[in-house]
Amino acid sequence: MNCDSNWIDNQALSLESVFTGDYKSKITTTHGIYYSSLTVHDLLNRACIRYASTMEGRLQATRIFMNYPKKTPILIEPSEIGAFPTMSYQHAECVWLFNHHFHVEELDKGKSRVTFRNGTSLIVHVSKHVLLKQQHRLHFTLDTYRIIQRDKKRYIANDDSKPESE
């Protein structure tokens, strides 16, 4: 398994397609920019597999549970690492932004600059409104899964019923 997907972790800021030489994707993290010969989809899928699911499985679960049929956020490691697409993930200009806080500046109609806390910025071809809506959806999904996991742990810890012995 190609190790490039290991860059998809809690330090990842964005993931986008590139078409330069042998590279198919650009991974921007809090500690630098990396290029991969794997596609964005392959990188995300391999990152999800590290946490016992596929990208399609994660997308399907979020679509059903959160009722987000389009531009669905993905939880790579549920309640910890997530990302959202700026447009349909099948579109070549789709950029995946991860669960880090950022500032958005609308440059033109349908064109915005995203700037992360560490000063890293990138231009995306979507409106500020779309970016903020997608960011909200991702953080709401992450929070929902955190609450589910917390409540599940409480329920299990407080479950004092024991199976009957034969």
**Euclidean distance between the first and final Cα of the chain, in Å?**
47
Please classify residue 61 by burial: count the beta carbons closer than 10 Å to its beta carbon, then call 0-12 exposed, 13-18 middle and 19+ buried: middle
| 4 band by pLDDT with thresholds 50, 70 and 90 | confident
Please classify residue 57 by burial: count the beta carbons closer than 10 Å to its beta carbon, then call 0-12 exposed, 13-18 middle and 19+ buried: middle
pLDDT in the model for residue 166: 46
| pLDDT one-digit tens code per residue, 44-88 | 999 999 999 999 999 999 999 999 999 999 999 988 999 999 999
Percentage of residues in the chain having pLDDT higher than 70: 90
pTM of the predicted model, to two decimals?
A: 0.89
Please classify residue 117 by burial: count the beta carbons closer than 10 Å to its beta carbon, then call 0-12 exposed, 13-18 middle and 19+ buried: exposed
pLDDT greater than 70 at residue 163: no
